Amino acid sequence: MNGNIIMLTEENYEGEVLSKQGLIVIDFYADSCMPCKLMAPAFAEVALEYEGRARFAKINVYDSKKLALKNKVLGMPTLLFFKDGEEADRVSGPLDAVQLKGRVDALI
C-alpha cells in the first residue's frame, strides 16, 4: 500500500480525523469488494499527487464495523471528506482519479 495512506482503526480515528486541521479523504472499503479494488489505484495515485496538501486514509469496514456504523456507511466504497474535523463531502461508489481530484480540489 502507498506509504502516505493512513490505515485508520477505532483506536486512531479520533486523533487522525476529528482532532486535526486540513482535509482528510477516507476510503471505507472491504477486501472482497470489487469496486473497491478497481478504485484503489486511483485513490493511491491521488494520495501521492496531493501529498502535503491533503491526507488520505482507508478503513476496512469489516475490521472497524463501529466506525462504519458511526459514519453511516451503507455501501462500499464510500469516500468521506473531512475538513477541519467536520464531514464536508461524501460519495458512495467508485471514483476515477479525475473525479477524485475534482472533489479534493473543491475542498482544499
- 43 alpha carbon, distance to own chain's centre: 8
Per-residue pLDDT reduced to its tens digit, 3-61:
689 999 999 999 999 889 999 999 999 999 999 999 999 999 999 999 999 999 999 99
CATH at 96: 3.40.30.10
Q: What is the pLDDT of residue 3?
A: 63
User: Do the beta carbons of residue 5 and residue 58 sit within 8 Å?
Assistant: yes
d(CA 31, CA 102): 26
Total domain count, the chain: 1
Which domain range does residue 9 map to? 5-107
Residue 1 has pLDDT above 60, yes or no: no
Residue 103 has pLDDT above 90, yes or no: yes
Q: Active-site positions?
A: 33, 36
Residue 2 has pLDDT above 80, yes or no: no
Q: How far lies 53's CA from each of 8, 36, 48, in Å?
A: 19, 24, 10
Q: What is the pLDDT of residue 15?
A: 93
